[in-house]
Amino acid sequence: MDDDDPNLKHPSDKQDNSGVSRRDFLKISGISVAVPLVAGPQAVMAAGQQVPVYGPGKVPMEFTINGKVHKASLEPRVTLLDALRDQFELTGAKRVCDRAECGSCTVLVENKPVYACSVLAIEAQHKAITTVESLMQAGKLHPLQQAFVENDASQCGFCTPGFVVACKSLLDKHPHPTPEDIRRGLSGNLCRCGTYAGIRQAMAQLSQKGA
């Protein structure tokens, strides 16, 4: 399998490829040394430094997700989003645009919101990952989720988990967000059904009460 030969990754070599996919980009912008197919890291010299190189085969990884340790053997090119969804059955974060535009995959890494589609799983190891699944405690909705329910802030619901996590992160930073804080804080998430009105109302309600 010569798939990780960076010379073959150039899009012009591929008749069916009009653009560079994110995965390709992550690969071609990486280290340009051919590496053998091994599981463990290999040290190579790059820019005058010894750097460990993983892959291209599967490597063992360990994650801390919602306070629990999860282990999996994954290729280094697998994104955090795909690891969460395909390996750990945490399907709250959704794959929609798959390139850091729509926010449907939003999770918290070290309490900061990130687009999980654009973070490699291998880089999210040993960091505190929080997903929408952790917000409900003992079968009870988080006040933020309750406000979403009361204000009918979801329709088809596919963008909703991403919005909930983005709102959680915004409220952690600004417990009483102004309309301007809300607009700015949620501008990284998209909805197709048009639930912004309900979300705005839910956030206004929480802003008054404090969440």
Report the SS3 class of residue 201.
helix
Q: How far is the CB of 49 from another protein (least distance, A)?
A: 28
Q: Does 92 bind another protein (CB under 8 A)?
A: yes
Burial state string for 117-126 with b = 16 or more CB within 10 A and e = fewer than 16: bbbbbbebee
Task: Check residue 101 for interaction with another protein (CB under 8 A).
Answer: yes
Of 22 and 127, nearer to another protein (C-beta) is: 22
CA dihedral angle for residue 130, residue 132, residue 134, residue 139, rounded to 10 degrees:
180
174 Cβ neighbours under 8 A, 6+ residues apart: 181, 185
Q: Which of residues 124 and 167 has its CB atom nearest to another protein in the complex?
A: 167
Residues in 25-84 at the binding interface with another protein, rule: CB under 8 A? 75, 77-78, 82
Pick the piece of the chain touching another protein (CB under 8 A) from 40-48, 62-70, 126-134, 168-176. 126-134
> Considering only CA atoms, which of 162, 156, 76 is closest in space to residue 121?
76
**DSSP string covering 19-51, please?**
S--HHHHHHHTS------S-SS-EEEEETTEEE
CA distances from 171 to 101, 106, 178, 193 (A): 21, 15, 11, 24
List the interface residues with another protein, window 183-202 (CB under 8 A): 183, 186-187, 189-200
Closest contact distance (angstroms) between CB of 44 and another protein is 22
Each residue 150-189 as x (binds another protein by CB under 8 A) or -, in order, gives: x-xxxxxxxxxx--x-----------------xx--xx-x
Say how many residues touch another protein, by CB under 8 A: 65
CB 166 within 8 A of CB 103: yes
- Residues at the interface with another protein (CB under 8 A): 1, 3, 14-18, 23, 75, 77-78, 82, 85-86, 89-99, 101-102, 104, 131-133, 135-136, 141, 145, 148-150, 152-161, 164, 182-183, 186-187, 189-200
